[in-house]
Amino acid sequence: MAERIGENTILLSRPPVILGAAAVGTPAEAAGPLAGAFDYLYDSAKAGAKTWEQAESRLQSKAVRLALEKAQLAPEHVQLMLAGDLLNQCMATSFAVRGLHIPLAGVYGACSTMALTLALAAVLTESGAVQNAAAATSSHFCAAEKQFRMPLEYGGQRPPTAQWTASAAGAAVIGDRGEGVRIEAVHFGRIEDYGVTDSANMGAAMAPAAAGTIASFLRDTETRPRDYDMILTGDLGAVGTRLLLQLLAKEHGVSIADVHADCGLMLYDRNVQDVHAGGSGCGCSAAVVCGHIVPRLRARTLRRVLFVGTGALLSGVSPLQGESVPGIAHAVLLSGDSERM
Amino acid sequence: MAERIGENTILLSRPPVILGAAAVGTPAEAAGPLAGAFDYLYDSAKAGAKTWEQAESRLQSKAVRLALEKAQLAPEHVQLMLAGDLLNQCMATSFAVRGLHIPLAGVYGACSTMALTLALAAVLTESGAVQNAAAATSSHFCAAEKQFRMPLEYGGQRPPTAQWTASAAGAAVIGDRGEGVRIEAVHFGRIEDYGVTDSANMGAAMAPAAAGTIASFLRDTETRPRDYDMILTGDLGAVGTRLLLQLLAKEHGVSIADVHADCGLMLYDRNVQDVHAGGSGCGCSAAVVCGHIVPRLRARTLRRVLFVGTGALLSGVSPLQGESVPGIAHAVLLSGDSERM
């Protein structure tokens, strides 16, 4: 039975378990500091497909298949897949899931999708509605640039605030029993919009939502930042991270600097790789969480991680119509510990 | 506690209740046979907005506000909104929900979105994760034509198999207690793809998924078509309806002709209105269910309706890349009766 506490946090009294998680990437991710965290790295961004969109689908379906393998489950033992991506009409997901024959609840949360799918999968699993659920997402630099900005061939300049869309995917299989990392609580976030209209500065657009969700989660659970080994945002990058720390201090009187990490700052080496303010895209936090964080929780080198996925809810059209960029952030509490919160 | 029965149907032992539902439309819907079912009809397809996309947002937020009014709930009493739409990155939803300050789990199910959001809202409410949830979606003919096909000004011809995207929205507020129509069971569908590549024939692309979900639901619940007052698909239109009946008879040995209705064939008068094969778009089944079916269930002129929302998971890009159109269908069992199934 799920229990609501505080304003909007959901505690899961029989915490669902991540039975298997996998990350898939491409050469940009293979050149980064987390290369070793990936379960599979394609040696080309095309991943053997004909188009960027189809390549992204391959990344996602590969991640799901690897997560299923690790969970030692066949697709028919998973009653529901929660998945989405950044492409128009979540195209990467539809074609990735088509071949898996798992019932699909499509989800859209922009770059917060991994957190959103994990949160929904956890609540649905705990409720008894499904025994096993899969949560997955993906993104692709080339498909995203073409769709949101310019075709790569145009060679457009990117401002320093821009983030680099990961060509990566992550997937997790969540079960109602078993050994593994547990999802102990989830928090669905509200849209926050501080009027940022620069669609090349997603970090600034998403930071207020991240601050709101983190502050709200801490209040609801009556916990402090030091109760967590890590408060992991995904993906604010360098600009958004600075703003997040400022907003939390100024508006909520909370300092998380000691425990904060950001997936967008972990996936690439900004000194060597040309990723400007850091990584982004649904696949960024998905790969970092599924490939790097979950194994560390399993190994108990981390015990309690609050993963806060952040999304910028713009389209290719909305900034051209003068709209600002709404941000959202969803949180899931991941625990490798045997003691409950 | 949710209970899984059969292959993939979820029975809700404490069925959540639709506390309020509302439908919003524009002149095309006002000219149709269900005009009286709408809670609000804008006198222009622009709905007072500057762009088609912003107009669609207005329809959706209006529907949510009206549903909240009917449920006699303020937005702060709704812990989660499940919503999505057809626009790239679910833009209509993001901007509709921004002003409501309700936590948002974005959903993508193409034209199956109303069924998908109702299904998720029902399970989440029944689980105790939220006390009240909102389910909403919208579509807009002009925004959809511009995005998926051609700008209206082009004056492109539409083939007879094409459907007319409703400029409409529907919203429902679901609570864990109270009086009203109950959601007794839900069924998340699988993707079915029979290789239809004609993106102007969505009915054909979606019919196999509808057939699969209906057959599976009947098997899982050990019920027959005549156990329902209505098996309501949304939206197959004239072509898809014919195919659905054929597929169910041929592949599953089931005849639902006596109880079948289709939202796409109900919203407009095809003899008078130029809608070709019928209505479609997320807003079509949303408006028909929220404005027409829920009140009839409340009044007990209908007692048991299996609503099967159907979606075509294509993007503007996928058909150009030679992809076929994957279909999906999600089902929710709506009951106005006091006796359980």
Q: pLDDT per position in chain B (341 positions), as tens?
A: 799 999 999 999 999 999 999 999 999 999 999 999 999 999 999 999 999 999 999 999 999 999 999 999 999 999 999 999 999 999 999 999 999 999 999 999 999 999 999 999 999 999 999 999 999 999 999 999 999 988 889 988 889 999 999 999 999 999 999 999 999 999 999 999 999 999 899 999 999 999 999 999 999 999 999 999 999 999 999 999 999 999 999 999 999 999 999 999 999 999 999 999 999 999 999 999 999 999 999 999 999 999 999 999 999 999 999 999 999 999 999 999 765 54
- A140 versus A337: the higher-pLDDT residue is A140
**Chain A residue with the nearest C-alpha to that of B115:** A105
Interchain pair A108, B89: CB under 8 A: yes
CB B293 within 8 A of CB B253: no
Using alpha carbons, select from B94, B23, B229 the residue that is nearest to residue A328: B94
Residue A37 confidence class, pLDDT cut points 50, 70, 90: very high
Q: Does the distance separating the beta carbons of B108 and A315 come in below 8 Å?
A: no
CB-based contact A116 B95, cutoff 8 Å: no
Task: Report whether the peptide linkage leading into residue A235 is cis, meaning its omega lies within 30 degrees of zero.
Answer: yes
CA distance A206 to chain B (A): 14
With tokens 């991994």, the residue in question is A114
Task: Using CA coordinates, name the residue in chain B closest to A324.
Answer: B95
Contacts of B128 in chain A (CB under 8 A): 1-4, 127
Pairing mode of beta strands A132-139, A260-262: unpaired
Region for B110 from its dihedrals, namely left if φ exceeds 0, alpha if ψ lies in -120 to 50, beta otherwise: left
Nearest CA in chain A to B213: A103
- Out of B93, B130, B317, closest to residue A91 by CB: B317
Q: Which chain A residues touch B108 with a CB distance below 8 Å?
A: 84, 89-90, 93, 106-108
ipTM value > 0.90: yes
Q: Do A87 and B315 touch (CB under 8 A)?
A: yes
- Collapsing DSSP to helix, strand or coil, B133 comes out as strand
Which distant-in-sequence residues (6+ apart) come within 8 Å of B333 by Cβ? B183, B184, B185, B186, B217, B304, B305, B306, B307, B341
pLDDT of residue A339: 54
Distance between CA A11 and CA B290 in Å, rounded? Answer: 31
C-alpha dihedral (A5, A8, A12, A15), degrees to nearest 10: -130
Nearest to A317 among B80, B91, B105 (CB): B91
Look at residue B247 and give its three-state secondary structure.
helix
C-alpha dihedral, B24 to B28 to B34 to B35, nearest 10°: 70
Which residue in chain A has the smallest CA separation from B89? Answer: A315
Query: What does the pLDDT look like over A141-184, one tens digit per residue?
Result: 999 999 998 888 998 888 999 999 999 999 999 999 999 999 99
CB contact under 8 A, A317 and B84: no
- A314·B89 Cβ contact <8 A: yes
Q: Which of A53, A98, A189 lies closest to B193 in CB terms?
A: A98
Q: How far is A155 from chain B (nearest CA, A)?
A: 22
Inspect the interface and report whether the beta carbons of B131 and A4 lie closer than 8 Å.
Answer: yes
Chain A: residue whose CA lies nearest to B102: A190
For residues B79 and A4, the answer to whether their CB atoms sit within 8 Å is: yes
> Looking at CA atoms only, how far is residue B40 from chain A in angstroms?
26
| pLDDT reported for residue A341 | 46
What is the largest distance, in Å, between two alpha-carbon atoms of chain A? Answer: 54
What angle do the packed helices A91-98 and A52-71 form, to 10 degrees? 50
Return the pLDDT at B150.
86
Distance from the Cα of A34 to chain B's closest Cα (Å) equals 29
Tell me what the mean pLDDT of segment A244-265 comes to. 98
A-B CB pairs within 8 A amount to 192
DSSP state of B107: B
> Do B78 and B20 form a contact (C-beta atoms < 8 A)?
no
Q: How far from the centroid of its chain's Cα atoms is residue B284's Cα?
A: 7
DSSP-derived pairing of the beta strands B80-85 and B104-106 = parallel
A33 CA to chain B: closest CA distance, Å? 31
Of B110, B123, B316, the CB nearest to A124: B123
pLDDT for residue B149: 87
How far, rounded to the nearest angstrom, does the alpha carbon of residue A28 sit from its chain's CA centroid?
A: 18
Q: Which of B93, B107, B108 sits opposite A89 (nearest CB)?
A: B108
- For residue A15, CA distances in Å to A121, A180, A185, B259 come to 11, 11, 8, 42
CA–CA distance, A212 with A335 (Å, rounded to integer): 22
Q: How far apart are CA A40 and CA A295, in angstroms?
A: 15
Q: Residues A220-243: what's their mean pLDDT?
A: 98
| CB contact (8 A) between residue B318 and residue A8 | no
Q: Two tokens at A16?
A: 């669902």
What is the pTM assigned to this prediction? 0.98
Nearest to A193 among B80, B98, B190 (CB): B98
- Report the pLDDT value the prediction gives residue B341, as an integer from 0 to 100: 46
Mean pLDDT, chain A, integer: 96
> In this complex, do B105 and A97 lie within 8 Å of one another by their Cβ atoms?
no
B102 chain-A contacts, CB cut-off 8 A: 190
pLDDT band at A1 (very low <50, low <70, confident <90, very high): confident
Structure-block tokens of residue B173: 């507020």
Measure the N-to-C terminal CA separation of chain A; round to a whole number of Å.
Answer: 16
Specify burial of residue B40 (Cβ count, 10 A radius: 0-12, 13-18, 19+). Answer: middle
CA distance A66 to chain B (A): 20
Backbone angles phi, psi at B85, to 5 degrees: -160, -175
Name the residue facing B103 among A128, A189, A323 (closest C-beta): A189
Q: How far is A312 from chain B (nearest CA, A)?
A: 10
What domains can be seen in chain B, in order of their start residue?
2-175 (3.40.47.40), 181-335 (3.40.47.40)
